[in-house]
Structure 1
Amino acid sequence: MSYMEHKGAAPSSVRVQIITVSDTRTLETDKSGMLISELLADNNHQISERIVIKDDQETIKNTVQQGVANREVDAILLNGGTGISKRDVTYEVIESMLEKELTGFGELFRMLSFTEDIGSPAMLSRAVGGVLENTAIFALPGSSGAVKLGMSRLILPELPHVVREINK
């Protein structure tokens, strides 16, 4: 089956949980989570839940595990906590949970960030994606620019295809 046939057999709508990892944002001030929600809706995907949680390893792990266990969630999109400060632990948690890492996601995100957006600071990004059980998981930096880039260039074009591949 060709790549285009695979994409053609993908679901037209994916159910997504959006998790913003932040010690300072609330649902009302979470611009990046709102942007993810809008972009998903514009592409006919369903938002199962949008929440803001603290940048804490156990909180992130437990929240992701709950999302994976929820039959109404096909994919989990996180934003925030992917930098290199001491409080940034999203990468460590997600990377340790994944059964299959999509190494190309982080590589391509950093390449696009470098060439199209921010230049050399792209090396500080620890965007990560992969699969846990039957759930696609992608973690992006928390800035709106990073979310827009990652969603428009990587996640939205492939999300239905990824979900199809996980569930076939």
Structure 2
Amino acid sequence: MSIEKHRSQAPRFTDCSILTISDSRTKEDDKSGAWLQQALLSAGHQIIHYRLIPDDIAQIRFEIDRIASDRKTRVLLLNGGTGIARRDCTYEAVNGMLEKQMPGFGELFRYLSFTEEIGSAAILSRATAGIYQQMAIFSMPGSTKAVQLAMTRLILPEIGHLIGELDKEG
């Protein structure tokens, strides 16, 4: 089946949640979280949860488990904590939980970052994605430009297709 056929049979809208991971942001100055909310709503998706939490492996995993447990969220978007600074731990928290990885997301995100945005600094990104309890998780850097790049070029075009694939029987 062609990719166009897959997309045409996929759901158009889904339920999403957002976690901003940061030790320095507040809800009032979380520009990336605000942009994510606006982009999702503009595309017709629902937002189930939005939270801002610190760079802490246990807390990140707790929030992911809490969101997954209500079985409402189909796509969880994390922004922040994907770099290599001492406090950045989102990658470690998320990667250890994924039941299936989608390495293409991180690879393509870094490629697009390299060619369109930040050049060789793209090697510092540890953006990742995968599946946990039938929920797609995308973990991206916290900068608003990085969030916009990931969402507009990779995530939003594939959300419906991704949910369609997750919902396939057998």
TM-score, normalised with respect to structure 2: 0.97
1:15 corresponds in structure 2 to: 15
Q: What amino acid sits opposite 2:22 in the alignment? A: S
Q: What amino acid sits opposite 2:112 in the alignment? A: L
Q: Which stretch shows the higher mean deviation, 149-158 or 67-76?
A: 67-76
Paired with 1:18 and 1:127, the residues of 2 have a C-alpha distance of 15
Offset from partner CA, 1:45-71 (integer Å, 9 cap, x none): 111111100100000000001111122
Q: Displacement of 1:133 after TM fit?
A: 1.6
Identical-residue share of aligned pairs (%): 49
Per the alignment, in what secondary structure is the counterpart of residue 86 of structure 1?
coil
Q: How does 1:4-83 map to 2 (within 5 A)?
A: 4-83=4-83
Q: What amino acid sits opposite 1:98 in the alignment? A: L
Q: What amino acid sits opposite 1:132 in the alignment? A: Y
Paired with 1:79 and 1:51, the residues of 2 have a C-alpha distance of 11
Q: Displacement of 1:118 after TM fit?
A: 0.6
Unaligned runs of 5+ residues in structure 2 are none
Paired with 1:159 and 1:50, the residues of 2 have a C-alpha distance of 18
1:119 corresponds in structure 2 to: 119
Q: What amino acid sits opposite 1:18 in the alignment? A: I
Paired with 1:2 and 1:132, the residues of 2 have a C-alpha distance of 26
Paired with 2:132 and 2:106, the residues of 1 have a C-alpha distance of 17
Q: Displacement of 1:95 after TM fit?
A: 0.7
Paired with 2:149 and 2:116, the residues of 1 have a C-alpha distance of 9
2:144 corresponds in structure 1 to: 144
Q: Displacement of 1:42 after TM fit?
A: 1.2
Paired with 2:9 and 2:70, the residues of 1 have a C-alpha distance of 24
Q: What amino acid sits opposite 2:166 in the alignment? A: I
Q: Displacement of 1:3 after TM fit?
A: 1.4
Paired with 1:65 and 1:8, the residues of 2 have a C-alpha distance of 31
2:87 corresponds in structure 1 to: 87
Paired with 1:14 and 1:86, the residues of 2 have a C-alpha distance of 35
2:3 corresponds in structure 1 to: 3
Paired with 1:80 and 1:7, the residues of 2 have a C-alpha distance of 29
Paired with 1:163 and 1:92, the residues of 2 have a C-alpha distance of 25
Tell me how many residue pairs correspond in the alignment.
168
Q: What amino acid sits opposite 1:119 in the alignment? A: G
Paired with 1:87 and 1:70, the residues of 2 have a C-alpha distance of 29
Paired with 1:57 and 1:85, the residues of 2 have a C-alpha distance of 14
